[in-house]
Amino acid sequence: METKNIKSATSLSTTTTTTTTNTSDHFIIQQKKALRSKIRKDLKAMSPIQRSQEDAAIQDLVLNSSWFKSSKGLCAYISCESLREVDTSRILSEILSSDYHGQIKKKLYVPRVEDKNSHMRMLNILSIEDLIANSMNILEPAPTDVNGNQREDVMHASEPVDLLLLPGLAFDRFGQRLGRGGGYYDVFLKKYQELATQRRWKQPLLVALSYSPQIMEGAIPVTPNDVTVDALVSPAGVIPISPAALEIM
């Protein structure tokens, strides 16, 4: 009888914990949904002039930084104007032309979405002409080059990347990032961080680019699946957050 009561109590405790967890997760999901809606409205309210000025300021900060100039391998997103992402066109151009400007030669990997199950790869490109528009009219690399050769996947590269430039919808000063809900970057980042650990590589610096309205003063709601960033770059300046970022920025 006593054993039966213990089992019943254990079962009740497990059920209560599961219910509490599910309720908490649901609350966080609703918080994220509300914040995404707010930020989208704030971004839509930005004038073209303000966006252009902030794009220029953010890209200048990145391009003039020592941590960008010293990087050899990078992953960077291809900015999409319809999504109101911080422009990366000058940064990408600088990376792709680094070999011709007497700078440290840089290797660039950019995202390609493979399916609707949060599967995204980072593939090497040599030129902006390597990009094609997908079904959502977002530029991404074709899986093969003009010669039919498979593009190098960063997950199969023999050398590590130093820097990842990331998009997002909202960020806080603790390094927490709110994406668009697909989980593509969080899944990719966790896999790459695991790879770097396995190969005993130094972890890459995760830097998010952010317009002024995207930086929250309070904490963003997150789950254990959300990956934090090391630093933010906004028009007001670089915001180092992690110990790694504070050391080099």
More confident residue, 101 or 34: 34
Q: For 202-229, what is each residue's pLDDT tens digit?
A: 999 999 999 999 999 999 989 988 999 9
* pLDDT at res. 20: 53
Q: For 39-77, what is each residue's pLDDT tens digit?
A: 999 999 999 999 999 999 999 999 999 999 999 999 999
Question: Is 109 annotated as contributing to ligand binding?
Answer: no
Question: Is 35 annotated as contributing to ligand binding?
Answer: yes
Confidence check: pLDDT of 138 > 90: no
pLDDT level of residue 134 (50, 70, 90 thresholds):
confident
Question: Is 184 annotated as contributing to ligand binding?
Answer: yes
Question: Is 142 annotated as contributing to ligand binding?
Answer: no
Task: Give pTM, 2 decimals.
Answer: 0.88
Confidence check: pLDDT of 2 > 70: no
Q: What is the 3-state secondary structure (H, E, C) of 8-75?
A: HHHHHHHHHHHHHHHHHHHHHHHHHHHHHHHHHHHHHHCCHHHHHHHHHHHHHHHHCCHHHHCCCEEE
* pLDDT at res. 26: 82
The helix (H) or strand (E) run that includes residue 95 is helix 89-96
Q: For 237-247, what is each residue's pLDDT tens digit?
A: 999 999 999 99
Question: Is 182 annotated as contributing to ligand binding?
Answer: yes
CB 85 within 8 A of CB 171: no
Question: Is 90 annotated as contributing to ligand binding?
Answer: no
CB 196 within 8 A of CB 160: yes
Question: Is 36 annotated as contributing to ligand binding?
Answer: yes
* pLDDT at res. 87: 98
The helix (H) or strand (E) run that includes residue 113 is strand 107-113
Q: For 111-122, what is each residue's pLDDT tens digit?
A: 999 988 889 999
Question: Is 185 annotated as contributing to ligand binding?
Answer: yes
pLDDT level of residue 178 (50, 70, 90 thresholds):
very high
State the residue for tokens 């509300």.
Answer: 34
Q: For 70-112, what is each residue's pLDDT tens digit?
A: 999 999 999 999 999 999 999 999 999 976 556 778 999 999 9
Question: Is 114 annotated as contributing to ligand binding?
Answer: no
Confidence check: pLDDT of 4 > 70: no
Question: Is 74 annotated as contributing to ligand binding?
Answer: no
* pLDDT at res. 136: 79
